[in-house]
Structure 1
């Protein structure tokens, strides 16, 4: 797959560059004083191409050949042979990111930069605060994982961010770490379950976190989960070939102090639906049911590698929801880590069982005072908030607003759903246990109800909690996006000590 790196200046980026994409809002292309990027004839061609485009609501990409020679005469001005302009709308709605990250992703994905040689991408930003979401959007448009047998792309893409005057915007360590972690998370979501079963996922976690200062890691596997009272995780994954597990990592800053934030992720490496089996093609794409775990792993790595001020714990609840003679069944009653009992009425509502154990462990064993969980939890999330906004539910209004602001700043957009235990607990009534695991009425705020189930297992703990259902944004079509890495790391950075 193509590689992605950063150029220090425009001269370095353009050198030996066969294709160049310049991305900017329409108003910036139209204004006087657009940065000088290319020799005069090519610069004029670039601006003419851009100014003829109408960006519409989501941006547009256009291309032209420049006439540059592959082997120019000595002393001749050299520039790319092919030019692309990515013209962004000048503004979006209040529910969009000010950086218009999705538009950046679309124009980069729409530019055919080739498969060999060197290509360049220039982002002209109106605000340096747009750097992280814009850079992350470029990374999303250039996926990592492939299993194709055809020759791999050797395209080398270089990226440069400029302000309106043409000065390079420095790429800080947090932006760089977020880009790499997001692309890794996307690649994990794309990896087929034949390669990423629970044991392999845990091995990748150890690989990703190896060598990070201040990080310790432990793994609770198979029947050890029952010893630790993690009955939900054990039940979901006990019949799979690879044992279920909880992977716990902790990061302690050198200076100490700060809050203790736990990042909890649903890591179902494949979801058949269990004995309540998915039918009519609904099982296809369930390799992506570990998108929440991939997101929190990436966010944890970003925070630990960039010296976060807070103590951060990572709790990955990993299992394959398989079918077999020892599978958990409808009518089973599970005792969860919280001590509460759950009657199973749908084995395809398995993710909430993992998360319930995970958040309870984070609160009761690890002692976290802020818990953020992420999961591809409900198909209903797509109906509620769509493909580009994750749904959030929180027991704390200030934390809810912080997460919304972090979403706009990071480009990982979110929208809140109601937190109303008094309305939703009744959906889980059981005659024999504290609750069922699936609702009676699927038309009654299904995504908010699923979040309520998770919170029910920590409702007696003094924690601030926010749940992120990223089912749509994590895997919107046929590729993982790494959604949640930028969001969650930005949230943690914004939490006050």
Structure 2
């Protein structure tokens, strides 16, 4: 497993390095303006190497041998500007450029020439994504990666507190998603969550198996009851030291994650090609778990609850069936017309539990909820739906800061509720018209179960950005943490 950390100086960075890479905007690699970083010879070679690279719209890289130490030199050349819907840190460009520099052996030393200190977090996360932690190969490769951030004059910039911890939480969350589903079933997932929270001042509760039905959590119970590993609701609670419920600036925030450890589609079985990769269907739960860890480590001023809805959507004699009617935690009834629309059943119970039993006033849920999210906002931007305009702006700004970009979809209950109409229950679980804002409608189903609860709610569909090219990214950890830390 590769390790990633920050060096305190160029001397420390270069010690033992086999490869050195300089990453910066195209304008940085100018003979007159290039900062003094590596000594006269290597600085000149860096500028000459960068001349061979066209940054294009998304960044590019090149490498060469130095004839000395470090033996190999690389450059990651980023575009000088990006559109307003992209992050100013050019995090995605860093990820793409680093993809061409990540191969090799021995210590990799990376100098990030940043335009603003606030860009360090997003760029460090982008680099972390190039070195995934999970490997099932018999000869797994590991590498030591060390970073140093400097400004355009070459002055070292110390990263903000929490950057290293956030990068670690992102990588841990990606590792969870990458783990094979027979190893990370609901019980194993809960155990892993306990391990990751060990040593923190949080309280943990689990509601498991038939107790879910007894507690009114009919959606989670139904989806997971046919699996060998029982479904469960994992709840962790953090209260800041010295907090007072009367504090005007303190909120009670709940992070609710969809944790379907494997999704067969249920009795509406997915076809070949549609089931592979469905270990990623707990990406939302992994993201909220990572965000919770970041918030606890940062001693967030708000109370924070973590609600992980864990189940395997397996098939067997106990499977829930099309035409079944489930009674949810909200008290509303749901006619099942698609067993492959199971994640929203988990989230519906989770957000209702957070609002009505934990009494959270602000609720975020995260899920790999719909394939339609990728049609709506692509594989770089997650989709956000919220009932609060100010919260929407906070989440989008957090996305630009963290590099986990979000783009809003419509919140319009009066336009979407009709898609779930049922003759025999309060609603169906899947839309009638798949061409009518399918991702926004899926979010609406979740919100239906907050009916009557006075809460601010934000929903993140991260189906595309959480799992790209058969590898998890840990998307969602940083943007959720940044959003909560910036809540007013």
TM-score when scaled to structure 2?
A: 0.97
Deviation at 1:31, TM superposition (A): 6.5
Q: Could you list the per-position Cα deviations for residues 269-314 of structure 1 after superposition, in whole angstroms to 9, with x for gaps in the alignment?
A: 0000000000131000000000000000000000001110100000
- Correspondence 1:280 to 2:272: yes
Q: Could you list the per-position Cα deviations for residues 191-229 of structure 1 after superposition, in whole angstroms to 9, with x for gaps in the alignment?
A: 11011000000000000111112x111111001111211
Deviation at 1:5, TM superposition (A): 2.0
The aligned residue for residue 387 of structure 1 is 379
Deviation at 1:318, TM superposition (A): 0.2
The aligned residue for residue 221 of structure 2 is 234
**Contact 2:222–2:320 (Cα < 8 Å) also in 1:** yes
Match of 1:185 among 173, 177, 183: 173
- Correspondence 1:130 to 2:130: no
Match of 1:441 among 433, 451, 460: 433
**Contact 1:26–1:51 (Cα < 8 Å) also in 2:** no
Any idea what SS the aligned residue of 1:98 has? coil
**Contact 1:19–1:113 (Cα < 8 Å) also in 2:** no
Provide closer, same or farther for how the CA distance between residues 31 and 342 of structure 1 changes in structure 2, counting only shifts above 3 A.
farther
The within-5 A match list for 1:16-415 is 16-30=16-30, 32-68=32-68, 79-115=69-105, 117-150=106-139, 152-213=140-201, 215-256=202-243, 257=247, 258-415=250-407
Provide closer, same or farther for how the CA distance between residues 89 and 36 of structure 1 changes in structure 2, counting only shifts above 3 A.
same
C-alpha distance in 2 between matches for 1:438 and 1:52: 52
The aligned residue for residue 75 of structure 1 is none
**Contact 1:97–1:408 (Cα < 8 Å) also in 2:** yes
Deviation at 1:352, TM superposition (A): 0.2
**Contact 1:240–1:323 (Cα < 8 Å) also in 2:** yes
**Contact 1:3–1:157 (Cα < 8 Å) also in 2:** yes
The aligned residue for residue 6 of structure 2 is 6
C-alpha distance in 2 between matches for 1:154 and 1:387: 27
Identify the range of structure 1 (8-17 vs 437-446) with the bigger mean alpha-carbon deviation: 8-17
**Contact 1:113–1:119 (Cα < 8 Å) also in 2:** no
C-alpha distance in 1 between matches for 2:149 and 2:179: 31
Deviation at 1:113, TM superposition (A): 4.0
C-alpha distance in 2 between matches for 1:271 and 1:344: 16
Identify the range of structure 1 (156-165 vs 54-63) with the bigger mean alpha-carbon deviation: 156-165
Q: Structure 1: which 5+ residue stretches go unaligned?
A: 69-78
Deviation at 1:12, TM superposition (A): 1.0
C-alpha distance in 2 between matches for 1:224 and 1:34: 64
Q: How many residues align?
A: 483
Deviation at 1:168, TM superposition (A): 1.8
C-alpha distance in 1 between matches for 2:467 and 2:195: 24
**Contact 2:322–2:339 (Cα < 8 Å) also in 1:** yes
Deviation at 1:124, TM superposition (A): 0.7
Q: Over aligned residue pairs, what C-alpha RMSD do you find?
A: 1.0
C-alpha distance in 1 between matches for 2:218 and 2:137: 39
Deviation at 1:46, TM superposition (A): 0.7
C-alpha distance in 1 between matches for 2:89 and 2:24: 10
Identify the range of structure 1 (156-165 vs 30-39) with the bigger mean alpha-carbon deviation: 30-39
Q: Structure 2: which 5+ residue stretches go unaligned?
A: none
Q: Could you list the per-position Cα deviations for residues 392-419 of structure 1 after superposition, in whole angstroms to 9, with x for gaps in the alignment?
A: 1111111111111111111000111111
Any idea what SS the aligned residue of 2:42 has? helix
Identify the range of structure 1 (449-458 vs 35-44) with the bigger mean alpha-carbon deviation: 35-44
TM-score when scaled to structure 1?
A: 0.96
**Contact 2:240–2:302 (Cα < 8 Å) also in 1:** yes
The aligned residue for residue 74 of structure 1 is none
**Contact 1:198–1:269 (Cα < 8 Å) also in 2:** yes
Deviation at 1:51, TM superposition (A): 3.0
Provide closer, same or farther for how the CA distance between residues 165 and 255 of structure 1 changes in structure 2, counting only shifts above 3 A.
farther
The aligned residue for residue 76 of structure 1 is none
C-alpha distance in 1 between matches for 2:272 and 2:480: 34
Deviation at 1:173, TM superposition (A): 3.1
Provide closer, same or farther for how the CA distance between residues 293 and 224 of structure 1 changes in structure 2, counting only shifts above 3 A.
same
Identify the range of structure 1 (87-96 vs 50-59) with the bigger mean alpha-carbon deviation: 50-59
Any idea what SS the aligned residue of 1:141 has? coil
Any idea what SS the aligned residue of 1:18 has? strand
C-alpha distance in 2 between matches for 1:415 and 1:118: 37
Deviation at 1:107, TM superposition (A): 1.0
**Contact 1:109–1:142 (Cα < 8 Å) also in 2:** no
Any idea what SS the aligned residue of 1:8 has? coil
Deviation at 1:467, TM superposition (A): 0.4
C-alpha distance in 2 between matches for 1:334 and 1:461: 21
Any idea what SS the aligned residue of 2:162 has? helix
C-alpha distance in 1 between matches for 2:3 and 2:478: 20
